[in-house]
Structure 1
Amino acid sequence: MARSLTKKKSSFAQRWSGVAYVLPSFAVLLLIALVPILYTVFLSLTKYDVLSDPVWVGTANYEKLLTDDKFWSAVKTTVIYTVFTVPLQIFIPMLLADMLAKTKEKWLSSFVRSILFIPVVASLILVGTVWRYMLSGDTGFLNTILDTMGLGPINFLGDPTWALVVVILVSAWKNIGYFLVLFYAGVLDIPAERYEAAAVDGANQTQQFFHITIPGLRPVTVLCVILSTIWSFQVFDLVYVMTGGGPGGATTTLVMAIYSRGFKLFRMGSASAIAVVLLIIIIAFTAIQKLVMKEED
Structure 2
Amino acid sequence: MIIPILTSLYYSFTSYSVLGSPTWIGLDNYQLLSQDPSFVDALIVTLIYTLGAVPLQTFLSLVIAEAVVRRFRNAFGRVVRSVLFVPVVSSLVVAAVVWRAILGTDQGLVNSFLGMLGLPGLNVLGNPNLALAAIILVTVWKNIGYFLVIYYAGILAVPAELYEASSVDGASRIQQLFKITIPSLRPITLLVVILGTIWSFQVFDLVYVMTGGGPGGATATIVVRLYQAGFENFQMGYASAMAMILFVIVVAIAIVQRKVLSDD
Report the TM range for the smaller structure's normalisation: over 0.9
- Cα drift, residue 216 of structure 1: 1.2
- Structure 2 alignment gaps of length 5 or more: none
**Superposed CA RMSD:** 1.0
TM-score (norm 1): 0.87
Q: Matches of residues 1-297 of structure 1 in structure 2 within 5 Å?
A: 33-294=1-262, 296-297=263-264
- Cα drift, residue 213 of structure 1: 1.0
- Structure 1 alignment gaps of length 5 or more: 1-32
CA deviation digits over 1:206-251, x for unaligned, max 9? 1111111111111110110110000000000000110011111110
- Cα drift, residue 97 of structure 1: 0.4
Q: d(CA) in 2 for partners of 1:219 and 1:65?
A: 36
CA deviation digits over 1:86-137, x for unaligned, max 9? 0111000100000000125511111100110000000100000000001000
Q: d(CA) in 2 for partners of 1:55 and 1:154?
A: 49
Q: Determine helix, strand or coil for the equivalent of 1:161.
A: coil
Q: d(CA) in 2 for partners of 1:254 and 1:175?
A: 20
The answer to whether the 8 Å contact 1:138/1:153 transfers is no
Q: d(CA) in 1 for partners of 2:195 and 2:73?
A: 31
Specify the alignment match of 1:3 in structure 2: none
Structure 1 pair 133/119, CA: closer, same or farther in 2 (3 Å)?
A: same
The answer to whether the 8 Å contact 1:245/1:252 transfers is yes
**Which amino acid in structure 2 is aligned with residue 273 of structure 1?**
A
- Cα drift, residue 37 of structure 1: 0.7
**Which amino acid in structure 2 is aligned with residue 174 of structure 1?**
K
- Cα drift, residue 138 of structure 1: 4.2
The answer to whether the 8 Å contact 1:159/1:247 transfers is yes
Bigger relative contact order, structure 1 or 2 (CA pairs below 8 A, ≥6 apart): 2
Deviates more, 1:219-228 or 1:197-206: 197-206
Between Structure 1 and Structure 2, how many residues are aligned? 264
Q: d(CA) in 1 for partners of 2:72 and 2:21?
A: 66
The answer to whether the 8 Å contact 1:124/1:238 transfers is yes
Structure 1 pair 41/105, CA: closer, same or farther in 2 (3 Å)?
A: closer
Structure 1 pair 59/105, CA: closer, same or farther in 2 (3 Å)?
A: closer
Q: d(CA) in 1 for partners of 2:62 and 2:259?
A: 23
Q: d(CA) in 2 for partners of 1:104 and 1:85?
A: 26
CA deviation digits over 1:142-201, x for unaligned, max 9? 111122223321111100111100000001100000000000000101111111111121
TM-score (norm 2): 0.98
Q: d(CA) in 1 for partners of 2:40 and 2:198?
A: 19
State the identity as a percent. Answer: 51
User: Displaced runs of 4+ in structure 1, greater than 3 A?
Assistant: none
